[in-house]
């Protein structure tokens, strides 16, 4: 029976309870369960239902919130309309008088099946729309900008970040409000969302005239990035890995001597004693506070790597185990086996978050270190057997994708409580809403080749649409043979691209390296390997000159970059924007997958293939000026422009 419950439509059919209500601008939330609603709001925490127009009759029901309307058929099928036109319909193959499809398949749109051990597995099916394009969904290692036709795992891995918000070319945005492990398939014949273990179905849909309006509606509910600090908008210097305090200072002094501005220098892993101690090895880091003071005198902030792993030999392991602050394996006694035998702290547990922050506050923050590199934040397991782990929030199958958001929250709330305002931390994974905790997502440990560069191009644009505006990569890739002659071309092209990314950051395991360890201990800062140098001057004078040119260009663009960052804070717009985001009425811009807008002013056409010395660029209507050559172009057409090794085609909108 269909009933109105305050500002919601509720109906029960064949043991399933469905609730549809207005939440947000031009938006509706749909929940369904075979039991009772859990009361868990996940990414929509704090979002309140609002007044809606509801009609219930013998032929079904409808609920309208502004420009979106959902109709409910007598048999429970949902259809969504924008300004009267159907944009999304549940895939339903049961008998209905008005259905053009065969009823014999007996397929329901929302299918709950009992899962082993309790609760339910879930499939939700929608009709496919011919000609539709889909974008967003987070960060995946593939060069597909348009996700129509893709199958995406809804799970967190090193270099993969599931942020299940999709933006459609038909003028709607869809949020799968569920942190369970699963997958989505955007197939030609239907769209299918699955979760391996849930208590309920929960999704949210909004409509708008343009992508910017849709993203604004979405981020108004799930959160937006805070103000980006001006002292992090320039170059970030990093490598695997600076092993001593003196190495860090020598690099910073050299940047200062050369007059090259350096905003951030990063200290990578195994500066510590053991994983889970969360403190410097005093043998190689005798006076971190003095180091930070000297760095600040050069205008350089210091970032420190923090892993969520806790070695069984760590000084904190027993206390954390006994207090229930660690991830619990269902089978075996280990979660992570890189350079130790480790468990992982449970970021979904508020007590564990408080414990970790207190260690980092005492051992890093009090010495002046105010930026944290939240590596391994998926978290990374020795084997991604998601059914083998349990969090404070529930099983990983049911709640696992929320872990990186909780990990970011631990530091953001700790830093806020300590009085810090310019919070900007680096993280390797995110979920819906992570942006509100002041994190820069980087795209993980990726290969150094042009295919990988093309993958990052698509990843950066799609994760921005999914609500994560602060994003970066390991310039040149993480796994790299820098002695390969072809690497210099890749490095130049990647650095040019990165200059027009939200964060400009050098990093990577630059090999091959046979640099001996600093000592023979089986713990501490001296036993772990390091890569080859990775500073601007590490690749020869010719390369250095080009890289320095782009660093200085980046510095000159800082006022503009901060202006674009303010937009991200105010309306959720990404910093890197697909062409259709800025030009939604230009049909050609919905087809383009190799150029983008850096904010609203600059069109960027990176060189994504080896050996290219020119490339074609589509200029939308208007007047455009080449950033490097100064030539002016009339828009509304495709032009071919030169792209020598030291030039990335960039055009300013006049």
Q: Please, what CATH class does the domain formed by 2-222 belong to? A: mainly beta
- Cα–Cα nearest to 473, from 434, 503, 432: 503
Q: Is 445 assigned a catalytic role?
A: yes
- Burial category of 219 from C-beta neighbours within 10 Å (exposed 0-12, middle 13-18, buried 19 and up): buried
Decide if 276 contacts 342 (C-beta within 8 A): yes
Domains of the chain, by residue range, sit at 2-222, 230-306+350-377+401-571, 578-653
Quick check: do 2-222 and 578-653 share a fold?
yes
pLDDT tens-digit map of 490-545: 999 999 999 999 999 999 999 999 899 999 998 999 989 999 999 999 999 999 99
Choose, from 90, 375, 376, 582, the residue flagged as catalytic: 375
Q: Is 375 assigned a catalytic role?
A: yes
- Cα–Cα nearest to 650, from 608, 622, 619: 619
pLDDT of residue 105: 81
Could you tell me the fold of the domain covering 230-306+350-377+401-571?
TIM Barrel (3.20.20)
Choose, from 445, 474, 567, 594, the residue flagged as catalytic: 445
DSSP 199: S
Q: Which residues of the chain have pLDDT under 50?
A: 97
Please, which residues bridge with residue 652 across strands?
Answer: 602, 625
DSSP for 207-227, written as a single string: E-SSHHHHHHHHHHHH----P
Cα 173 to Cα 328: distance, rounded to the nearest angstrom: 36
Could you tell me the fold of the domain covering 578-653?
Immunoglobulin-like (2.60.40)
> Around Cβ 239, how many Cβ atoms within 10 Å?
23
Contacts with 14 (C-beta within 8 Å, 6 or more apart), sequence order: none
pLDDT of residue 96: 58
Contacts with 199 (C-beta within 8 Å, 6 or more apart), sequence order: 33, 35, 38, 40, 119, 120, 398
Q: What is the 3-state secondary structure (H, E, C) of 468-518?
A: CCCEECCCCCCEEECCCCCHHHHHHHHHHHHHCCCCEEECCEEECCCCCCC
Choose, from 281, 346, 376, 378, the residue flagged as catalytic: 378
Q: Is 144 helix (H, G, I), strand (E, B) or coil?
A: coil
pLDDT of residue 106: 81
pLDDT of residue 94: 74
Cα 540 to Cα 430: distance, rounded to the nearest angstrom: 36
Cα 363 to Cα 277: distance, rounded to the nearest angstrom: 10
Model pTM? Answer: 0.97
């Amino acid at each position: 029976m269909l009933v109105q419950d305050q500002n919601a439509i509720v109906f029960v059919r064949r043991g399933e309870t469905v609730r549809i209500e207005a939440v947000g601008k031009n938006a509706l939330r749909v929940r369904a369960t075979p039991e009772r609603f859990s009361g868990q709001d996940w990414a929509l925490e704090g979002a309140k239902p609002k007044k809606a127009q509801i009609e219930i009759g013998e032929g079904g029901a409808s609920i309208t919130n502004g420009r979106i309307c959902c109709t409910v058929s007598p048999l429970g099928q949902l259809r969504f309309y924008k300004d009267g036109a159907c944009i999304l319909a549940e895939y339903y193959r049961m008998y209905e008088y008005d259905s053009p499809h065969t009823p014999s398949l007996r397929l329901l749109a929302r299918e709950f099946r009992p899962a082993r051990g309790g609760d339910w597995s879930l499939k939700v099916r929608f009709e496919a729309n011919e000609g539709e394009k889909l974008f967003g969904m987070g960060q995946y290692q593939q060069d597909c900008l348009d996700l129509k036709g893709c199958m995406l795992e809804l799970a967190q891995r090193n270099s993969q970040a599931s942020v299940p918000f999709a933006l459609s070319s038909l003028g709607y945005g869809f949020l799968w409000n569920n942190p369970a492990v699963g997958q989505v398939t955007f197939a030609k014949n239907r769209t299918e969302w699955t979760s391996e273990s849930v208590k309920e179905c929960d999704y949210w849909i909004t409509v708008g005239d343009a992508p910017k309006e849709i993203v604004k509606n979405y981020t108004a509910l799930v959160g937006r990035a805070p103000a980006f600090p001006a002292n992090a908008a320039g170059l970030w210097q990093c490598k695997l890995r600076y092993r001593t305090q003196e190495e860090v200072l020598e690099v910073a002094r050299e940047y200062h001597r050369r007059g090259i501005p350096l905003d951030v220098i990063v200290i990578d892993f195994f500066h510590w004693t053991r994983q889970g101690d969360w403190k410097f090895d005093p043998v190689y880091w005798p006076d971190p506070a003095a180091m930070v003071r000297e760095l600040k005198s050069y205008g350089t902030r210091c970032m420190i790597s923090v892993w969520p792993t806790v070695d069984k030999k760590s000084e904190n392991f027993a206390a954390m185990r006994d207090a229930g602050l660690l991830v619990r394996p269902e089978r075996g006694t280990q979660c992570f086996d890189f350079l130790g035998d480790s468990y992982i702290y449970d970021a979904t547990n508020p007590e564990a978050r408080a414990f970790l922050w207190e260690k980092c506050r005492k051992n890093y923050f009090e010495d002046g270190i105010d930026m944290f590199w939240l590596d391994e934040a998926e978290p990374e397991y020795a084997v991604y057997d998601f059914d083998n782990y349990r969090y404070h929030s529930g099983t990983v199958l049911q709640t696992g994708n929320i872990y990186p958001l909780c990990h970011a929250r631990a530091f953001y709330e700790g830093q806020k409580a300590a009085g810090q305002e310019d919070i900007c931390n680096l993280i390797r994974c995110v979920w819906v809403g992570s942006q509100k905790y002041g994190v820069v997502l980087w795209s993980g440990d990726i290969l150094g080749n042009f295919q990988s560069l093309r993958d990052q191009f698509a990843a950066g644009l799609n994760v921005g649409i999914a609500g994560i505006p602060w994003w970066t990569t390991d310039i040149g890739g993480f796994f790299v043979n820098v002695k390969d002659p072809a690497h210099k071309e890749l490095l130049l092209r990647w650095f040019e691209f990165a200059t027009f990314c939200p964060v400009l950051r050098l990093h990577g395991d630059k090999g091959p390296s046979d640099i001996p360890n600093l000592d023979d201990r089986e713990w501490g800062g001296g036993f772990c390997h390091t890569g080859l140098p990775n500073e601007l001057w590490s690749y020869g004078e010719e390369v250095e000159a080009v890289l320095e040119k782009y660093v200085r260009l980046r510095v000159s663009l800082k006022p503009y970059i901060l202006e674009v960052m303010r937009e991200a804070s105010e309306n959720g717009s990404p910093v890197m924007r697909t062409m259709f985001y800025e030009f939604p009425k230009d049909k050609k811009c919905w087809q383009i997958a190799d150029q983008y807008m850096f904010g609203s002013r600059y069109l960027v056409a990176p060189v994504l293939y080896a050996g290219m010395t020119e490339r074609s660029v589509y200029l939308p209507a208007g007047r455009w000026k080449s950033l490097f050559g100064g030539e002016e172009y009339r828009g509304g057409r495709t032009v071919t422009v030169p792209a020598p090794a030291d030039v990335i085609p960039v055009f300013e909108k006049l």
